[in-house]
Amino acid sequence: MSVTKTRSDDGQVAPPDLSSTDYYENRELSALEFNRRVLEQAKDESLPLLERVRFLAISSSNLDEFFEIRVAGLKQRLELGASKPGPDGLTPQQQLDRIAVEAHELVTEQYRVLNEVIRPALWAEGLGMIPAHNTPKGVQRWMAEYFEREVEPVLTPLALDPARPFPRIQNKSLNFIVRLAGTDAFGRNTNLAIVQVPRSLPRVMTVGGTRSVDGPTLALLSRVIQVNIHRLFAGVEVQGCWQFRVTRNSDLYVDDEEVDDLLRAVEGELAHRRYGAAVRLETAHDCPPDLVEFLRSHFSLEKDDVYRVNGPVNLHRLMGIYDLVERPDLKYAAFAPGIPPRISQQTDMFAAIRERDLLLHHPYQSFQPVTDFVRQAASDPRVLAIKMTLYRAGADSLIVESLVEAARLGKDVTVIVELRARFDEAANIELATRLQESGVHVMYGVVGYKTHAKLVMVVRREEDRLKRYCHLGTGNYHARTARAYTDYGLFTCDEQIGEDLHDLFLQMTGLTRAPALRKLLQSPFTLHAAVIAKIEREIGHARAGRPARLVAKMNSLIEPQVIQALYRASQAGVRCQLIVRGICALRPGIPGVSENITVRSVVGRFLEHSRVFYFGNAGDEELYCASADWMERNFFRRIEVCFPIERRKYRERILADLETCLADNVNAWSLNADGSYTRITADGAVRVCVQEALLAKYAD
């Protein structure tokens, strides 16, 4: 891509218009590109086989959410008559048209990988899946017995006739449409039925007595039902049955201006999520055209919304294979997260933090110190108060148990629970209710702004004064995801950061003006302007001939004003190195606009989740970690916190981590100016894998 140059009336070449749609990639198409990179992991023969199965399942799950939220949102905008294009110039309809092409290609490739790559590889390891044809008789007997014993008792076939209309189909549920011939006991002649499969049934199971490379050892529930469907319709001929699944709009809508009780409003919306507007129909590839048309018409979908797939309609269920099969040789090697010597040698977290700040890098380093910090705060008689934000906590959270215990012991415990953490709303409602019943002060943040900051503040009496101990993180207080997501967390008792957190909690729980924070940057008030100001400062250094560099790592980059600031930085000669795992609307490498910008994405064993912003500042370096990506929602519609890493040793350590990421030639992809990605390979150079390097550096 090149810059279109224009000349002014005096003949001078005018600078390029940085708001031009030529310089912005579409958000939705970039999301699909990310999912292609995830799918590529399923093809990578250097990875353990069951990890490749997991990546295939993740690509399916990602695509589900893409339809539930992003495609559903575009369809909703069309229904409301919205046609305004985004920064990339595409209208909602144009985006849907492009998505249809890209998504169909992606789904086709997913099933090719399943059938031509994953299935044969599983068979070679003695983990064959029951085939659609030529099933061994012994396996047929097992399927019949399993169906009769475990499946049939919980199935309810529903014939379609005037007295029994088409049933309500839940979002992403497994269903079969069955073609019948003949009359039943009442003399009714119905030719169609629907079989809805309860979600309580396991989608993958092992085949009893067939554990050998000569026969399949794994069975998908869909195959077991399909082979035995005739048992549900005694005396009636079953001419065929075919899987189908409907994806629905799953975004919650709560009118912030009308809501009186946020918890009740979210609860009410959750009941509707299962039956939101249909946005996608998946059917078996051999489903007869008339039945596909019947289903499409019933769900009021367009032809482009129909996906005919050669295999199970929900590849995410393949995750069951990963969980079911105990083959360590086919999975990543287990590791024990490291614990810094300072806290491994003593159990007093408060003493360790008083000594100096403590930085953790998950999952390479253990999440246990975070859990211990809250647990010790709960039991310590000198602790008076605990204040915390919870976006996602997970089931059976030890942190939640500690908060409950702290309240029971009479401490003042305040928790800001974000009810609208996507797809965790029900769990967070249950969490909020439990905390309230235990005596915890539970707040839901500020209506209209998601509380996405990751904060803990403990107030402790020491001698004749109160001291604040704080934890600030880039990721959630969720022990399970802390084993799979890369995130930084900082423990500190810095007085100014403690005062900032005190002011922030007052702001979130009471009615105060936006505080003038001392060290922290906050959305929706100061973070956006500060990021742009720091980029402009690098521009000033470059123009003055001083060293100018920035490195930014995040999940997504789409905010137009920040992108334009980065383009200006590139034009001024600032070296901009961006590590953006997922969506990126910026286009690097455009002569005259972004030739000094590189963008890479790392997709590997762990989900790259940390947000880190480094500014060279002509040698007076600054480095921040944050809960926020560079997106409109994070800057303007969420409560986010960005915190400085002031200890020089820790700045150097994080910058070294970033440098290793920038040198990765195993799991890294480079973004091209046209929005496509190219995998970076070693090509004879020394092999560098950032995640392996950090495991070796930090883990035990």
Q: Do the beta carbons of residue 378 and residue 403 sit within 8 Å?
A: yes
C-alpha–C-alpha distance, residues 136 and 25, integer Å: 51
- Which residues are CB-contacts of 609 (< 8 A; sequence separation ≥ 6)? 474, 475, 485, 486, 487, 555, 581
Q: Which run of H or E residues covers position 536?
A: helix 527-543
Q: Which of 54, 541, 505 is nearest to 321 (CA)?
A: 54
Q: Do the beta carbons of residue 6 and residue 13 sit within 8 Å?
A: yes
The pairing of strands 306-309 and 278-284 is parallel
C-alpha distances out from residue 451 to 250, 389, 416, 508, 641, Å: 20, 8, 8, 9, 10
Q: Helix, strand, coil % (nearest 5) of the chain?
A: 40, 25, 35
Q: Do the beta carbons of residue 457 and residue 415 sit within 8 Å?
A: no
| Other C-beta atoms lying within 10 Å of the C-beta of residue 470 | 23
C-alpha–C-alpha distance, residues 188 and 168, integer Å: 22
- Which residues are CB-contacts of 560 (< 8 A; sequence separation ≥ 6)? 19, 24, 87, 585
Point out the catalytic residue in the list 316, 362, 452, 541. 452
- Which residues are CB-contacts of 332 (< 8 A; sequence separation ≥ 6)? 48, 51, 605
C-alpha–C-alpha distance, residues 52 and 63, integer Å: 17
Q: Do the beta carbons of residue 623 and residue 515 sit within 8 Å?
A: no
Token code pair at residue 48: 């353990």
Q: Do the beta carbons of residue 251 and residue 239 sit within 8 Å?
A: no
C-alpha–C-alpha distance, residues 216 and 72, integer Å: 39
C-alpha–C-alpha distance, residues 557 and 560, integer Å: 9
Q: Which of 300, 465, 338, 482 is nearest to 398 (CA)?
A: 482
Instruction: Give me the residue label for tokens 């035990």.
Output: 700
Hey, is 488 helix, strand or coil?
strand
- Which residues are CB-contacts of 311 (< 8 A; sequence separation ≥ 6)? 111, 114, 115
Question: Active site includes 452?
Answer: yes
Instruction: Give me the residue label for tokens 């009359």.
Output: 183
C-alpha–C-alpha distance, residues 153 and 156, integer Å: 8
| Other C-beta atoms lying within 10 Å of the C-beta of residue 436 | 15
Q: Which of 239, 250, 309 is nearest to 281 (CA)?
A: 309
Q: Do the beta carbons of residue 388 and residue 415 sit within 8 Å?
A: yes
Residue 563: exposure state from Cβ atoms within 10 A (0-12, 13-18, ≥19):
buried
Residues acting as catalytic residues:
452
